[in-house]
Amino acid sequence: MRNLLFFLLAIVITLLSTSCSKKSPGDDGPNPPVQTENFRITEIEIPAIINRQKNADIEIKSKGFKLGDVILINSIDTPSSVFTVQIKSIQSDHVVIQLPESIGDGRYRLIAQRETRTQTLANTVFNTVLRTNIPDQANKTVKGVVHVNGLGVADVVVSDGYDVAKTDQNGVYYLNSNKRIGYVFVSVPGNYEVTAMNGNLPQFYKSLYGNPNIVETIDFELTPVNNENHIMLTMADFHLANRNNDIAQFQSGFLTDVNNLIASYKAAGKKVYGLTLGDLTWDLYWYSNSFSLPQYVDQINRVDKIPIFNLIGNHDYDPYFTSDWLAENAYRKTLGPTYYSFNIGRVHYIVLDNTEWINTGGGSGIVGERNYNGTISDEQMAWLVKDLAMVESSTPIVLASHIQLHNAPNVTGATPSYRISNGAQLVSELSRFEEVHILSGHTHINYKVPRNDKIIEHNTAAVSATWWWTGRSGAAGNQIAPDGSPSGYGVWEMNGTDIKWFYKSIGYEKDYQFRAYDLNNVHISAATYLPNANAQHQAMLNQYAFNFANANNNNEVLINVWGYDPQWVISVTENGNPLPVERIQSRDPLHIISYPMMRLNANTTPTFNSANTSHMFKVQASAPTTSLNISVTDRFGNIYTESMTRPKAFTYLMR
C-alpha cells in the first residue's frame, strides 16, 4: 500500500512539472520548430568570383537541397540589401538559379534557407561578363573584352596601373596584374566613350576582387561617338568644404556659368568634357564639417550632363593617415584610380598623381600637419613609359597633374625651376612628342611656361579663387584669385590636332581677358580700407599693400593680363600715339583690398598673401585725364580691347 502511494505521488508531480513547462502566447517566445529532418547542404563548391552572362543561369555546386528551398543573397557592401532567389532546378550535384537584374555586380554572401532554418554557403563576387569562355594564358591574372554591343574593339589600351596591354582583333586583352591598385582601367580610345556613367563620372575603371592567383575577367563596353571636335573644360582647386558660403557661391557662380557655356557649345554641335585639376575638397574640414569626396561628387554632378574626369590634389587625402597609399584609399573608393589615361578625338590625355603624402603627426582621429612632397612615384613613371609607348609621336599629349611642373615665371624670360623633384625626368619622357600641354593647378594663379617649342605648361587659377574668401557673405563681393585673375577655369577647343585655349572668368563673357587700373586712383590707406582695424593690424598695412600703400600720381596705368604667354602682344595708344609698354612683376591692387585688407580690417591676420606675378604691364600717360586705347592680342589672333576713360575708379566690382 505504501509503495502504491509513492507511485501515485510521482505521477502527480510529473504531470504538474510538464504542465508548468509549456509556454503560452504571453511567454518569452514561440517554441522552436520541430526538427522533422536534418538540414545540411554539403559538398559546396562556390568560386570566389562567379562570372555570369546577362540573364544566364548560374550553377551552384552542392548537395542536400530540396524542393521549396531558396537562396538568400545578401550584399556584403550593403548588408541591409537581401534578395530571395528561387531555385529553378535541383540536380544530383548542383542547383540552378537565375539572378534578377536588380542584383548588380559586387560582393555577396549566399545563404541557403529551408523554412525558418538557414545555412551560410559561401561569400562570392558576382561579375557580369560578355564571354565566360575566354581561355587563360600563362602568368596572366586579368583578362576580358572591350566591346561595342558585344563586338570586340581592337587596339584598345587596358591597364592595372602597372602592366599595359592592347586588345587583339577580337577585343580581348590579357594583363599580368599584381592587383595592387585594385582596379583595371581602359584608356578610352578616340571617338568612343564608356557606356557606364555614375552621374557625370565616366566608369572607365572596374574593381579587382581576387588575389593575384585568381584569374579575373573584366570587360568594358564602349559607345561610338564623334569627338574629333570637342571641348575640354579644365577646373582647378574647388576646395569645397561647407565653409565661407562656398556651396552657395559654387552653385550660383560656377554652376551657372559653366552650364551656360556647356549649353552654348552643345547647341553648336560640339562634344563637351571636363577634367578637374585636384583639390576637389579641403582635407582639414573632412571630419569637422562632414564634407569630403562623396559630398564633392554630389556637387559636381550638378554640372550639365558631361563626362568629367577627376584628379587627386594634396587636399584630397585622408588627414588621419600618414601612409600615402592608405590616405589615397578614400579617393580611390569614391573616384577610382589616381593615375590613368584616355583619348578624346585625336588627343591623348594623361592624369598623374604627383603628391607624396607625409602628414606628420596624423593618426586615428587626429588630423596631422598634412605636409607632402611634390613628385611622381617610381611606379607611376614606369607606367607612364609603358602608356606613352602605345602612342604615336604625332599625337598631341595633354598631361594633367595637381602640383605644377614649373615654378612661376618672372619677367626675365628664363625658364623657371622645377617644382616637383623629378620634373626633368618627366620632360625627358615627353620629349619625343611634337606637342605637349601640361595642365596644373595648386597655386590658385594663372601662368604659362613654354618649356620649348614642343612643351608648354598651363597653370590654371582656381574656381575657388582665394579659397572662397572674397565672395563670402559680408566680404568684397567679388571672386578674385591671388594674382588678380577672376575665379574661372580653362576652356580648350580641340579640332583634330588643332588646339586652342582660353581662360573663362566666372560671371563674365569669354572676351574678358584683362583688367586695367588707373594708378592715380589706387592708394591703399588705413583710413580708407582699415577703419575698423586696431593699431596692431593697421600697422601691418605696408606688409600686405606693398607699394600701393603710397600715393602714385605719375599717370601710370597697370594692366593685368591673366592669360598671357610670350606670344601675346599688349599695345596702348594715347590720342593715337603708341605708348611704351613695360612688362613688370607686381601684385594686383584689387586682390589686396578684396582679401588681405578685408582680413586686417576684421583684426585678423591674412592667411594668404597677394601673388607677385609677371603677367602685369605698365604704361605712363602724359596727363591724368587722357583716354587710352588698350589692345591685347592672344597667340591665336583674338583681340581684346578697352577704351579706358580716365580717371578710372578703383572699386571692389571694377572690371
* Backbone torsions φ then ψ of 496, nearest 5 degrees: 65, -120
Please indicate whether the domains covering 131-224 and 226-505 agree at the CATH topology level: no
Q: What's the longest Cα–Cα distance across the chain? A: 143
Radius of gyration over every alpha carbon of the chain, rounded to an integer in angstroms: 33
Reading the block at residue 346, the C-alpha cell is: 585625336
Give this prediction's pTM.
0.91
pLDDT reported for residue 26:
37
What is the Cα–Cα distance from 88 to 57, expressed in whole angstroms?
9
For the stretch 11-41, pLDDT in tens is 333 333 333 333 333 333 334 443 445 789 9
Domains of the chain by residue range: 42-128, 131-224, 226-505, 515-644
Conformational region of residue 330, where left means phi above 0, alpha means psi within -120 to 50, and beta covers everything else: alpha
Residue 564: the pLDDT is 98
Least Cα distance to 562 among 466, 490, 652 occurs for: 490
Distance CA 450, CA 409 (A): 10
**pLDDT tens digit string along 615-654?**
999 999 999 999 999 999 999 999 999 999 999 999 999 9
Taking Cα atoms as reference points, which of 470, 490, 484, 511 lies closest to residue 249? Answer: 470
Contacts with 242 (C-beta within 8 Å, 6 or more apart), sequence order: 285, 289, 290, 291, 295
CATH of segment(s) 226-505? 3.60.21.10
33-38 CB contacts, 8 Å cutoff, 24+ apart: 33/115, 33/116, 33/117
The residues of the chain scoring below 70 in pLDDT are 1-37
DSSP 8-state class, residue 498: E
Backbone phi and psi for residue 406, each to the nearest 5 degrees, phi listed first: -115, 150
**All cell numbers assigned to 459:** 597653370
- pLDDT of the residue at 37: 55
Assign domain 42-128 to its CATH architecture. Answer: Sandwich (2.60)
Sequential DSSP letters for 200-267: TEE--EEE--S-TTS-EE--EEEEE---SEEEEEEEB---B-S-TTHHHHIIIIIIHHHHHHHHHHHH
pLDDT of residue 75: 96
Q: Which residues contact 533 (CB under 8 A, 6 or more apart)?
A: 526, 600, 601, 602, 603
CATH topology of domain 131-224: Immunoglobulin-like (2.60.40)
**How would DSSP label each residue in 128-156?**
E-S-S-PPP-TT--EEEEEEETTEE-SS-
Strand blocks (E) in 238-339: 271-276, 308-309
Cell, residue 553: 600720381
Distance CA 53, CA 133 (A): 11
Nearest to 141 by CA among 123, 169, 165: 165
Report how far apart the first and last C-alpha atoms of the chain are (Å, whole number): 121
Contact 211, 141 (CB under 8 A): no
